[in-house]
Structure 1
Amino acid sequence: MKKLVSLLLLAALLCTVLVLPVSADEADGGWDFSEEYPDAEPTGVTINVYNWGEYISNGTEGSLDVNAEFTRRTGIGVNYTTFDTNESLYSKLAGGGADYDVIFPSDYMISKMIAENMLEELDFSNIPNFEYIDEQFRDPDYDAGSAHSVPYTWGTVGLFYNVDYVTEPVTSWSILWDEQYKDKILMFDNPRDAFAIAQMRLGFSLNTTNSGEWEEAAMLLKEQKPLVQAYVMDQIFDKMESGEAWLAPYYSGDAGVLVEENDSIEFIIPEEGTNFFVDAMCIPAGSAHKAEAEAYINFMCDPEIAGANMDYVGYATPETAAKEYLEPETVENPIFYPDEETLRNTEVFVNLPAETSALIDTLWAEVKMGGPGDAAVLIAIIVVFLGIYVAIIIWKKRKHKREMM
């Protein structure tokens, strides 16, 4: 593996960068920082970090254990847990029972949380490595002035397919509605990504506020439902690798796992276009360890750490400097870093008005249940059972009165 340069030196809670020679471990392809950074004294502080699943370098397969390295350098502990959708992240925080210090929401969810005062403003004097974030990722529409977020990764949504079973040319999202692949199709288990695919097929904006367009997209998803084997998130890995499923939409960064480990799996960005997304690091309002959380974000922005992290995760980095620590074939791979023509045919999610979000939730529930007809049947069944239950209670009370007489 190539030689590595530029090391991060953290002092107490604030971080400064020194440029020192470092090399990767030649024997096992791992990352070794032990000689340059002696262990820090434990601070007695542990931060709670909440991230997507399969979204950080964890020390397996010779990779850098990012959280362990942060603790070793700073003495700050990390309690690390994962979520699978932006909506589940939001529900956890909005419910008030969560106590997190660093979270990793996507663009549209960041703007929603800002609007609801759910995020802390960042103190960038504690995050000097923000200077490495490329200009195009600063001051985004979802967070004016980058006041509440620091980009972590970016990517696009594409379509995975197994060439052993799908032999026709795959160019369009429409193949996810092809009846010949019934029970071999996977679909996103979150409304925003699932609706986006239907909207792209219909030629609608991913951020439309036209209720008729959302209802039309929902009808298309209802038509697809009988063909869908399962609505999934990270389960896509096992199902596609085993051949249990043949077609699935998912995020470009995961192509590094699926395509490289299975020669039968290919990945394309359909001709109708796709979603361009940014996931970023934020601090929830009321964090008990804000300075330590900022130290963590700063650590994650160090180009060498970011490079080691993305080398394992596979997603695109928002730091040009971090690409110096990635293999050239990764940086040149259009799956991870699409060309400008492809990127021009993408759209970023934005936060939608409350009434549109409520409509989406209702329509998504109908899609998952099979439509409003099925929902009515379910309600009718519940009413019947309640009626039977009430009748039994009344009968028992009357019987008890007779026995007492």
Structure 2
Amino acid sequence: MSRRSLLRSLGAGSAGAALAGCGVPAAYVEPGDRSGPDRSDSDHSLHFANWPLYIDTDDEDESKRPTLDAFTRRTGISVTYTEEINDNDEFFGKISPALMNHQPTGRDLVVISDWMAARFVRLGWVQEMDRSRQPHVAAYLDPQLRSPAFDEGRLHSVPWQSGITGIAYNRAKLGREIRHTSELWADDLRGRVTLLSGLDEAFALLMQGNGADITRWTADDFHEMCEQVARHVRSRHIRRFTGNDYIKDLANGDVLACQAYSGDVIQLQADNPGIEFVVPEEGAELWSESLMIPNLAGHKRNAEKLVDHYYEPEVAAELATWVNYVCPVPAAREILASSKDEETAALAEDPLIFPDDAMRRRLAIARDITSEERTGFAKKWNSIVGL
């Protein structure tokens, strides 16, 4: 099971979503109120909150994390690493009371999906990073990820890992290729297709299939996509909407094609080479889950050092061999290619970890759903999905 297999679909009625969707004015924190005393010089530690199964572990002792251990040996900074983020909205609800009330969260570094990171940036809940302390980020961050709409210039965020939402299908059982999103609606796939249930996870690929530019999509694009999906629900073409349980459906043959995440498919292919992942000709969504430093973090400079550590190509390569998502450090590819281990070297040629130029031309980062749009759009989507 991959890290992203633990995601749950968007809960539009959750307290956290309601707060962010309404853009409560009192929750906004002015730039001058975001930083606090930094104890990094006297306290060589930091608290790093991440998702489960999202970092390298030692083969013989899973409690050891080689890339983190290397950072501590090099810098003397100890890292308290917690796998406490199981859902974006749930984590939002956990730390939002502190952030709203101008209190520290007890965490110096967190990893959240970019659509949720957009909320934190809008609310002023995260600090700008000092890039002068992060030369490896400046040198090696993937150019395609450098300036998302929600955080132009990546002032507040740095990708931890990236990925692609595309189409996975069982070519061996289907007996043909899939090259376009519209092919999901072919007659021979009736009742054998699943889509992702979460609005933020699903909408971009479906809009791209209709020809929309997801970097600047409109309300008309959204409603056209919803009407299309609703028609296929009524005709029972769509088998169901899923979280990451699509993995089981695809593996056992109940489903022949589905929306899927690139990192999951790499792992599925190890057991079933008949499963393929495609970036449709119309395009697919490139997303990230990003490192951010919450307001009033007590070890900001230590956190900035750890972020930069993971942008050293050798470290990024070591992490990439474990998580199998799109590596945000393209220079890590050469490190893997030079490995004497054949399986490791093969990862350098996998376009789902290091997309080639042809694939990159079909990838785009979707603009975020704004706080003004979210309540109405989530209500409409959830009524179709049955949430």
- The question of a shared fold, defined as TM-score above 0.5 by the shorter chain, is answered with yes
* Match 2:156 to one of 148, 157, 166: 148
The structure-2 alpha-carbon separation of the partners of 1:88 and 1:343, relative to structure 1 and needing over 3 Å to count, comes to farther
- Kept after mapping to 1: 8 A contact 2:325/2:352: no
What do residues 268-314 of structure 1 show as CA deviations (whole Å, max 9, x unaligned)? 11122111223321112233443343333233223222111001111
Partners of 1:195 and 1:131 in 2: how far apart?
A: 31
Tell me which residue corresponds to 1:4. none
- Match runs of 1:161-176 below 5 Å: 161-176=169-184
Q: Report the AA paired with residue 355 of structure 2.
A: P
- Match runs of 1:260-271 below 5 Å: 260-271=270-281
Tell me which residue corresponds to 1:58. 57
- Kept after mapping to 2: 8 A contact 1:207/1:352: no
Tell me which residue corresponds to 1:75. 78
Secondary structure (helix, strand or coil) at the match of 2:310 reads helix
* 1:341 corresponds to 2:358: yes
Q: CA deviation at 1:363?
A: 1.4
Q: CA deviation at 1:62?
A: 9.3
Q: Which TM-score applies when normalising by structure 2?
A: 0.72
Secondary structure (helix, strand or coil) at the match of 2:174 reads coil
* Match 1:324 to one of 334, 351, 354: 334
Q: Report the AA paired with residue 76 of structure 1.
A: V
* 1:293 corresponds to 2:303: yes
* Match 1:282 to one of 292, 309, 314: 292
Identity among equivalent positions (%) equals 23
The count of aligned residue pairs is 329
Q: CA deviation at 1:120?
A: 1.3
Tell me which residue corresponds to 2:5. none
Q: CA deviation at 1:265?
A: 0.9
What do residues 196-215 of structure 1 show as CA deviations (whole Å, max 9, x unaligned)? 23212222232556433322
Partners of 1:61 and 1:131 in 2: how far apart?
A: 35
Q: Report the AA paired with residue 54 of structure 2.
A: Y
Partners of 1:177 and 1:61 in 2: how far apart?
A: 46
Partners of 2:336 and 2:242 in 1: how far apart?
A: 30
- Kept after mapping to 1: 8 A contact 2:165/2:205: no
Partners of 1:233 and 1:295 in 2: how far apart?
A: 34
- Kept after mapping to 1: 8 A contact 2:194/2:258: yes
The structure-2 alpha-carbon separation of the partners of 1:182 and 1:284, relative to structure 1 and needing over 3 Å to count, comes to farther
* Match 1:310 to one of 320, 339, 351: 320
Partners of 1:308 and 1:45 in 2: how far apart?
A: 23
The structure-2 alpha-carbon separation of the partners of 1:254 and 1:331, relative to structure 1 and needing over 3 Å to count, comes to same
* 1:241 corresponds to 2:251: yes
* Match 2:117 to one of 110, 114, 118: 110
Tell me which residue corresponds to 1:40. none
- Kept after mapping to 2: 8 A contact 1:160/1:247: yes
Partners of 2:365 and 2:320 in 1: how far apart?
A: 22
Deviates more, 1:198-207 or 1:302-311: 198-207
* 1:201 corresponds to 2:209: yes
Secondary structure (helix, strand or coil) at the match of 2:258 reads strand
Secondary structure (helix, strand or coil) at the match of 2:172 reads coil
Q: Report the AA paired with residue 83 of structure 2.
A: Y
Task: Give the unaligned 5+ runs of structure 1.
Answer: 1-11, 15-42, 371-405
The structure-2 alpha-carbon separation of the partners of 1:209 and 1:324, relative to structure 1 and needing over 3 Å to count, comes to closer
Deviates more, 1:304-313 or 1:196-205: 196-205
The structure-2 alpha-carbon separation of the partners of 1:184 and 1:66, relative to structure 1 and needing over 3 Å to count, comes to farther
Q: Cα RMSD (Å) of the superposition? A: 3.3
Deviates more, 1:279-288 or 1:105-114: 105-114
Deviates more, 1:94-103 or 1:273-282: 94-103
Secondary structure (helix, strand or coil) at the match of 1:216 reads helix
Partners of 2:239 and 2:117 in 1: how far apart?
A: 31
The structure-2 alpha-carbon separation of the partners of 1:158 and 1:135, relative to structure 1 and needing over 3 Å to count, comes to closer
Task: Give the unaligned 5+ runs of structure 2.
Answer: 1-38, 100-104, 338-344
Q: Which has the larger radius of gyration?
A: 1
Deviates more, 1:304-313 or 1:177-186: 177-186
What do residues 171-206 of structure 1 show as CA deviations (whole Å, max 9, x unaligned)? 222343345445543321310231223212222232
Secondary structure (helix, strand or coil) at the match of 2:179 reads coil
Deviates more, 1:58-67 or 1:183-192: 58-67
Partners of 1:203 and 1:129 in 2: how far apart?
A: 37
